């Protein structure tokens, strides 16, 4: 990964601008993963959110990875990233030999050597996982980890804002569709 503080500061500003440029959840999530991948020079990036039962992670946005890899199968919340879901960043320096990797053959075929998983925390509750994938083995620095934690925190806020906007918009449209209910 690129290591200069200036790069991360300008990177973080780029991500913040991307997040604030839209309230469309799908677009915001795509901008987050794309910008982060470009800034860090990584192979790919995914943003996964827990399903309603909190049992499985569902990929909501990805960048730099093939559809085949992204759609390889469900990611169980209790297997490869259970520690991340407890609030800890998890670094996998060698996907080929780490037992926490759920799909090691697919990762190798995709050209992924290392993975870092960061929890997406929203108001004290883990709602998902932000993952960065590198094509060569990587020893992530403390600056790398802190940068990715900041991106994950901003992602949580962006998700909340976009969901609130969608909820308000839906209520407004419902209200406007039945104007007689306004008068009652």
- Could you tell me which residues are beta bridge partners of residue 116? 91, 132
Which of 5-19, 44-58, 111-125 has the least mean pLDDT?
5-19
DSSP 8-state secondary structure symbol assigned to residue 95: T
66 within 8 A of 110, measured Cβ to Cβ: yes
What percentage of the chain exceeds 70 in pLDDT?
Answer: 87
- How high is the pLDDT of residue 180? 60
- How high is the pLDDT of residue 72? 86
Instruction: Select the more confidently predicted residue: 75 or 96.
Output: 96
- Could you tell me which residues are beta bridge partners of residue 134? 114
Give the residue among 84, 90, 35 at the shortest CA–CA distance from 64.
35
Give mean pLDDT, residues 148-156.
90
pLDDT exceeds cutoff 60 at 181: no
pLDDT in tens, 29-58: 998 899 899 888 999 999 999 887 777 888
Name the superfamily (CATH) of residues 5-183: GAF domain (3.30.450.40)
pLDDT in tens, 153-164: 988 888 888 788
**Helix or strand holding residue 101 (H, E):** none
- How high is the pLDDT of residue 78? 45
pTM of the entire structure? 0.81
pLDDT in tens, 57-71: 889 999 999 999 998
- How high is the pLDDT of residue 25? 83
Q: Which whole-number Å values give the CA distances from 57 to 31, 129, 130, 155, in the listed order? A: 20, 8, 11, 16
Distance between CA atoms of residues 139 and 24, nearest Å: 35
Instruction: Select the more confidently predicted residue: 135 or 84.
Output: 135
């Amino acid at each position: 990964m690129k290591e200069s503080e200036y790069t991360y500061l300008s990177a973080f500003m780029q991500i913040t601008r991307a997040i604030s440029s839209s309230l469309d959840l799908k677009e915001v999530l795509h901008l987050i993963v794309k910008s982060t991948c470009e800034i860090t020079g990584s192979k790919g990036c995914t943003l996964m959110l827990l399903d309603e039962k909190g049992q499985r992670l569902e990929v909501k946005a990805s960048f730099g990875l093939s559809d085949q890899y992204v759609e390889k199968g469900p990611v169980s919340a209790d297997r490869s990233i259970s520690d991340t879901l407890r609030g800890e960043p998890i670094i996998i320096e060698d996907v080929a030999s780490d037992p926490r990797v759920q799909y090691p053959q697919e990762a190798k075929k995709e050209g992924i050597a290392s993975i870092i998983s960061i929890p997406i925390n929203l108001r004290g509750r883990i709602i998902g996982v932000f993952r960065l994938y590198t094509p060569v083995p990587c020893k992530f620095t403390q600056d790398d980890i802190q940068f990715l934690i900041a991106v994950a925190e901003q992602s949580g806020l962006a998700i909340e804002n976009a969901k609130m906007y969608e909820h308000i918009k839906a209520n407004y449209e419902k209200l406007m569709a039945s104007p007689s209910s306004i008068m009652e």
